[in-house]
Structure 1
C-alpha cells in the first residue's frame, strides 16, 4: 500500500468537502435517486469484491499458481476493499442526509 502525501490528503479532503456541499444542496427527490444509484453501485462492488476474494483464495491455495500472481491478487483485493469502504462512507453520509433508506427496485 502506498502512503498518501500531505498534498494528496489535502486534495482528498477538499473533494470530500465539495461532495458534502453538493449533496447538502440537492433536493430530496434528486438525493433519493443518487442514493438508489449508490446502493446499486455498492451492491455491485460487494459482488465483484467477493468474486475477486474467492479468486485470490483459490490462487493462494493452489500449488500450480505462481506465488507472485497470488500476491498480486491479494494486493488488488485489499485495494478494492479500501475503495468499497470509501464508497460505503459516501453512501452512509448520503443516507444520513436523506433520513431514510429508500426502496431500491430490483433490476
Structure 2
C-alpha cells in the first residue's frame, strides 16, 4: 500500500510541475507551437495597422507574419510567399533603417 501511495503522490507532483512549467513558458511569450494555421494571400495592405514577424524557431519551422487590422483589431496570418506580402515587409524593413 505504501508503495502505491508513493507512486501516486510522485505522479501527481510530476504532473503539477509539468503543467506549471508549460504555463510559465507561455507566460514568457514562448509559444509551444506555430501561431498560424491558415494564411491569407489576398491583398489586404490598406487594412493593416501593424505587422509582427516571427522567424522560424524550435517550436515552428515556418516564418510567421501576423498583421493586425485597423478597424477591428483582428489578427490575420499572412502568406510569407505572397508577392504583395514580400513587398510590404521590404518597405517596413526599409523604413526602420536609420
- Same fold flag (TM > 0.5): no
Structure having the larger proportion of residues in helix: 1
TM-score (norm 1): 0.28
Name the larger-Rg structure: 2
Structure having the larger proportion of residues in strand: 2
TM-score (norm 2): 0.31
